Chains A and B, each alone.
Chain A
């Protein structure tokens, strides 16, 4: 009788643990990307300052910013629309070749149409990294970006 009870309890515990693990795996597997609009920026800085930091020491800037939520302030240098209609907002000083390129999150793509060249903007996005290029100008890339202030 006692043995049977232990057996049943063990079974019950295993069942609960199994269901819990299964549920966790299912949830993790179907987890959506975090909505950038709801994320608090880890860093907020003008475009020129960020580009300066990456230009000076890419390695330590990568360690500081890579994968983090960045809010960038600056002037809209260019608005690029790709063949599928997705927007990239290029932020930076027109006198400089370098800029921060922000790929607008597909969910918020409509925001791209509201942007005007030469106006001040604040864009929030996930820092994907820095492409140094002397000929074309260096770029800092933000992905899943949303426009904060326009």
Chain B
């Protein structure tokens, strides 16, 4: 009888330690910056409702972000972003599906900061392209935070900039990602 207890306890301990395999957030932050040296002001929007899931075992990484969720300081800029550039009514969502290429180098059970390479496919404005970027994963107290910045050439995703403002909007937008991921309890 006692043995069963030990066995059950051991099993429960095992279950707890192995359950934190997937990490997620629904309030990831994605920043969009298309400011160039000739821009009269900052052209940047921020979205704080990105969904992100990371599977620590396989390194699979997924993002989903609603284009209408990008907030710009100027109402006019936000409308132009939605209506003329990313056409968020037609393409409401941007998605990234990829993997942490060097996932073996990350020890998810040990606190620390790990440099990672993320590879995958980004779908934006109805166009899917391969992207690769360097980022950082920080493991602390069973939680994982993910930070990365990468460039997106707007023309790659059929986002056209009207001639009138062509020299005032960057052709390559900087995308910044900051996510605090929590372990997913099953």
Contacts of A67 in B (CB 8 A): 68, 82, 89
Closest to A137 in B: B26
- Distance in angstroms from A19 CB to nearest chain B CB is 20
A-B contact count (CB 8 A): 73
- Distance in angstroms from A34 CB to nearest chain B CB is 7
Q: With A129-B66, A136-B53, A141-B49 given, is the CB distance from A33 to B93 under 8 Å?
A: no
Chain B interface size band reads 20 to 34
Q: With A129-B69, A136-B26 given, is the CB distance from A31 to B89 under 8 Å?
A: no
Closest to A139 in B: B26
- Which residue of B22, B49, B76, B92 contacts A66 across the interface (Cβ within 8 Å)? B92
Question: How many residues in A have their beta carbons less than 8 Å from beta carbons of B?
Answer: 30
Say yes or no: is A57 at the interface (Cβ < 8 Å to chain B). Answer: no
Give the complex CA separation of A83 and B66 in angstroms.
21
- Distance in angstroms from A4 CB to nearest chain B CB is 36
A22-66 at interface with B (beta carbon < 8 Å): 28-34, 62, 66
Top-3 shortest CB links A-B: A129-B66, A128-B68, A128-B69
